[in-house]
């Protein structure tokens, strides 16, 4: 009985679970790269706290965005095939890209502002640059993940229910 309940819960929230998995994987890769680049930039180029905070953010995005995009497409590629023709449905792709960009834009603004301000404050307190970057990323990621989940569910309604999707592989 519990297995059936778990399967039903997973089926109901599958798209959201996969979205969060993609965010966490891409975020982890970006997290590690930002810590490395922050420390490297600080020791080799510039000890400015604000410049270092911005470099940390830019290095994080340069890793996060491509990895997240690939993972999201890979997990959702079945949604973009028209069941009648077997070809890609560019209307659905375009609609989902708009919804995803809306949700990501809002949550990434919150992430960016949080990351820069927290990293800057930690650097001002004398925290080692890579630690400041990591703590700033963790705090900003928490804000961003909560916000994107709320936006995807409530505002943009990115994921349709299984009733409206004609072709879902089992």
For the chain, what are the domain ranges? 2-155
- Among candidates 160, 155, 152, which has minimal Cα distance to 23? 152
pLDDT at residue 114, rounded to an integer:
94
In this prediction, residue 146 has a pLDDT band, given cuts at 50, 70 and 90, of very high
- Of 4-8, 42-46, 102-106, 129-133, minimum mean pLDDT range: 4-8
Q: Is the confidence at residue 135, as pLDDT, over 80?
A: yes
How far is it, in rounded angstroms, from Cα 24 to Cα 141? 9
Supply 74's token pair. Answer: 């890979």
pLDDT at residue 70, rounded to an integer:
94
Residues 105-115, mean pLDDT to the nearest whole number:
92
pLDDT at residue 147, rounded to an integer:
94
pLDDT at residue 110, rounded to an integer:
94
pLDDT at residue 21, rounded to an integer:
95
How far is it, in rounded angstroms, from Cα 41 to Cα 56? 9
Q: Are 79 and 92 in contact (CB under 8 A)?
A: yes
pLDDT at residue 1, rounded to an integer:
62
Cβ neighbours for 87, distance < 8 A, ≥ 6 positions apart:
81
| Residue 110 CB coordination number (10 Å) | 15
In this prediction, residue 165 has a pLDDT band, given cuts at 50, 70 and 90, of very low
Residues 31-59, mean pLDDT to the nearest whole number:
85
Angle between helices 49-76 and 129-150 (to 10 degrees): 40
Residues 160-164, mean pLDDT to the nearest whole number:
49
- Among candidates 111, 140, 107, 118, which has minimal Cα distance to 52? 118
In this prediction, residue 78 has a pLDDT band, given cuts at 50, 70 and 90, of confident
Reported as type and span, the H/E element at residue 18 is helix 2-44
Q: What is this structure's pTM?
A: 0.77
Residues 61-90, mean pLDDT to the nearest whole number:
90
How far is it, in rounded angstroms, from Cα 112 to Cα 49? 15
Greater confidence (6 vs 15) lies with 15
């Amino acid at each position: 009985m519990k297995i059936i309940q778990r399967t039903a819960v997973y089926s109901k929230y599958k798209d959201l679970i996969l979205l969060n998995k993609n965010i966490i994987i891409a975020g982890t890769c970006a997290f590690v790269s930002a810590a490395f680049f922050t420390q490297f930039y600080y020791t080799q180029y510039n000890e400015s706290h604000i410049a270092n905070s911005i470099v940390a953010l830019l290095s994080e995005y340069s890793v996060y965005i491509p990895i997240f995009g690939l993972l999201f497409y890979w997990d959702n590629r079945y949604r973009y095939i028209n069941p009648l023709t077997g070809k890609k449905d560019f209307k659905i792709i375009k609609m989902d890209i708009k919804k995803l960009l809306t949700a990501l834009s809002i949550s990434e603004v919150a992430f960016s502002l949080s990351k820069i301000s927290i990293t800057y404050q930690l650097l001002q307190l004398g925290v080692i640059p890579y630690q400041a970057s990591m703590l700033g990323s963790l705090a900003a990621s928490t804000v961003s993940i909560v916000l994107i989940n709320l936006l995807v569910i409530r505002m943009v309604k990115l994921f349709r229910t299984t009733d409206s999707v004609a072709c879902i592989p089992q």
